[in-house]
Structures are given as C-alpha cells and as structure tokens.
Amino acid sequence: MFRANKKGWFISGITIATLISGIIFLFLTTIFLIIVGALGGSIDDQNIEHEDGGSGVICSPDGELNEEKWEQYFDDPRHSGMLMGYGDDIIELSEEKGLDPVLFGAITLHETGYGKSVALRTKNNPGGLMESDGKTLQTFNSIRDGLEAMSVTLYNRIIVDGLVTIEDLGNVYAPIGVDNDPDNLNEHWVPTMKKLTKDMGGLTINCESMKDVDMDVIGGRSWVSPHTKTITSSFGYRQGCGTCTTLHKGIDIASEGIKGTPITSFADGKVTVSDSSGTTHDSNLANMGTGYGWYVEIDHGDGIKTRYGHMLSKGIAEGRVVKAGDVIGTVGSTGASTGPHIHFEILIDDEQIDPMSHVIPFLADQ
C-alpha cells in the first residue's frame, strides 16, 4: 500500500511537473509572440506586398504624401489600431518639425506593432520612450502628447544629428548584433521600414533629395540647384499687378521637374533662419499668400547672407554649419509662388543685391 502510494505520488509528481512546465512554456510563448508582434511581426497580417529588391528606398513620385494610401492606414483600425485617426496629428507635427510624415508615420506604426503595443495602450507612448533611468517607459497624458515627444526625438535624430536615411536611423533604433537582441530581430528593421514607407506611397522628403549631391565649388562657392541652371526671373523691378511694379529682390531658378530636388548652400556658413513666412501651402494656384513660404537663411560671415525661398517643407535646422554645396532643403512652391522654383537672394549688410555677378562663374558652361 505504501509503495503504491509512493508510486502514485511519483506519477502525480510527474504530472504536476509536466503541467507546470506546460504552463511556463505557454507563458513564454505568449510573451515571445507579444514581443514579436510589437516589433512588427504583425506586418504579415497587413497583406502588404513583397519588396521588389534593389535598394528598396522608394520616394513618392511627385514628392507629395499619397493621401489615399495614408488613409488606408490611419483611417482603418485594422492597420493602425489605437493610432487610428491620428494621421493628421502626425502630418501636423511633421510640418512643425520639418520631418517627412511618411517616415514618422511608418516608424510610429512599426514601433507600436500597428497601434497595438503595450506602451501605447497603457502609457500613450508610441515611441517606446524611456525615462532617464533607461528602464521605465515614460507615461504621457494623451496619445497626442506621446506623438509630440516622439516628434522631438525624431527631430533630434534626423534634423539635428543628420540621420536622414532609413539605414542611418536603423543603426540607432534597431542596432544589429546588440546584447538585447539575441534573436536578431533588429535586422528586420531596415527592410521592414523600407517596405512600409513604400506601401504608404513613398517618402516625401529626406529621401533621395537629402542625399549628398556633387556640386562644383569654385572659390568657396557653389551653384544652388543641382537640377538646373535656368534663371526664370532676374533681380529688379517687374510688373506685379497690372499698373504696380515690385522690386524682385532675388533671382528665380526653375525648370521642368525641379520640384522635390535639392537646394544647396551657396557658400560655407551657419543657418540663421529655417522657418516659414506667409503660407506654407504648396499649390499651383497663383499667389496663395505672401512671403517666402518655407525658407532658409545662411550667414556666410563678412556681412554676407543668402536666402532660399519657397521650399517644399522646412529646410535644414537653424544653427547647423554647412559647406558650399551641402543640401539645405528641397524645391517647392510654398509662400508667394505660382510654381515650384528657388527664389535665391544674396544680402550684403542685410540688403539684397543683384546676385548675377556672383553666380556668373557657374553659368559659364550654359
């Protein structure tokens, strides 16, 4: 009887041990699936087509946000979970910070497992931002607040640190071969982001346009548009509105297909203004407003400054030090503009002068 009892206990022991390990196994599997889900494993659920190979970096063909595709994500809870309806906030914050909304949106969706992450659900923290202790997730009052904090981080990485490509960002967001990534999930970050930004209609800025361009520097100076040397309007008085004439205080540079192409710095210097003046609408309607739209001013020292108007979106950040020929923004049509062009000014002691004599060396091979 005793032995049988003992045997009975023994069998029960095995059963209990099996049960416990079964429970532990299920528990661990669930946790693993949650982590994989949060890291974007759920992409396969999203029915997203396969990448077409190549470098994978896809830019929006017209440099614009593809609204239809954008809405497919942010107006549909299956694709954005708790981030549904926050598409406009992401666009607004992007415009404020000079970020590409497609890149911001894609990172947000990816980092939250399409709006389902625990950090988002319980702490309004879409970016998974940590407290200064590096261990605790920050808590925000609203998802909008969480998105705003995330936009600041992205601004610091992309605009201040200059990590403009998905690869650059991947090295920071999901470094490969680090201790806290034993299963090498981070190696999926870059390809997934490329696929996602493509499926969202393509990047709109900080894309091809922000790559380095090869500009001839002559005497420490550079032409300001790698796309064209065509000057469509010169410095001086011109008909503004029938009988009135206005002084055009710069030169206009444009040619077919210039929209979305880079604008480069005329000389070495420091960015003193990167802001908007007048409307920031990018429209082909005549004179949507007044002003430069998004523009950049660079101080080259010795009383010389340059200005670049009507950019597509916010250009390079204030305070950045640039070299002649560095990319500082993207051609658009914001402000008082009837079509995509660069309005380029040279100022001496804060007064605009005719830039022609200074740009002649670059026009010689026209």
Residue 208 has, within 13 A of its CA and on its CB side, a CA count of 16
**Total residues binding Zn ion (CB under 5 A):** 2
Q: Closest approach of Cβ 331 to Zn ion, in Å? A: 13
Closer of 252 and 282 to Zn ion (Cβ): 252
Q: Which of residues 327-356 bind Zn ion (CB under 5 A)?
A: 343
Shortest-Cβ-distance residue relative to Zn ion:
343
Q: Closest approach of Cβ 63 to Zn ion, in Å? A: 20
Q: Closest approach of Cβ 249 to Zn ion, in Å? A: 8
- 149 Cβ neighbours under 8 A, 6+ residues apart: 125, 127, 129, 138, 140
* Residue type present at position 272: T
Closer of 100 and 252 to Zn ion (Cβ): 252
Q: Which of 89, 199, 252, 268 lies at the binding interface for Zn ion (CB under 5 A)?
A: 252
Closer of 192 and 333 to Zn ion (Cβ): 333
Stretch that binds Zn ion, among 105-113, 209-217, 244-252, 286-294 (CB under 5 A): 244-252
Closer of 111 and 252 to Zn ion (Cβ): 252
Stretch that binds Zn ion, among 72-80, 245-253, 288-296, 300-308 (CB under 5 A): 245-253
Q: Closest approach of Cβ 342 to Zn ion, in Å? A: 8
Cα(284)–Cα(64) distance, integer angstroms: 13
Under rule CB under 5 A, residue 314 binds Zn ion: no
Phi then psi dihedrals of residue 62, to 5 deg = -110, 10
Closer of 41 and 291 to Zn ion (Cβ): 291
Q: Closest approach of Cβ 348 to Zn ion, in Å? A: 18
Cα(324)–Cα(317) distance, integer angstroms: 16
Cα(358)–Cα(222) distance, integer angstroms: 10
Closer of 189 and 308 to Zn ion (Cβ): 308
Tokens (6 digits) for 212: 């380095």
Q: Closest approach of Cβ 322 to Zn ion, in Å? A: 22
User: Closest by alpha carbon to 99, among 170, 152, 174?
Assistant: 152
Query: Cβ distance 41 to 73 under 8 Å?
Result: no
Query: Cβ distance 309 to 338 under 8 Å?
Result: no
Query: Cβ distance 331 to 312 under 8 Å?
Result: yes
Count helices and strands (H / E) in the chain: 10, 14
Closer of 188 and 343 to Zn ion (Cβ): 343
Binding-site ranges for Zn ion (CB under 5 A): 252, 343
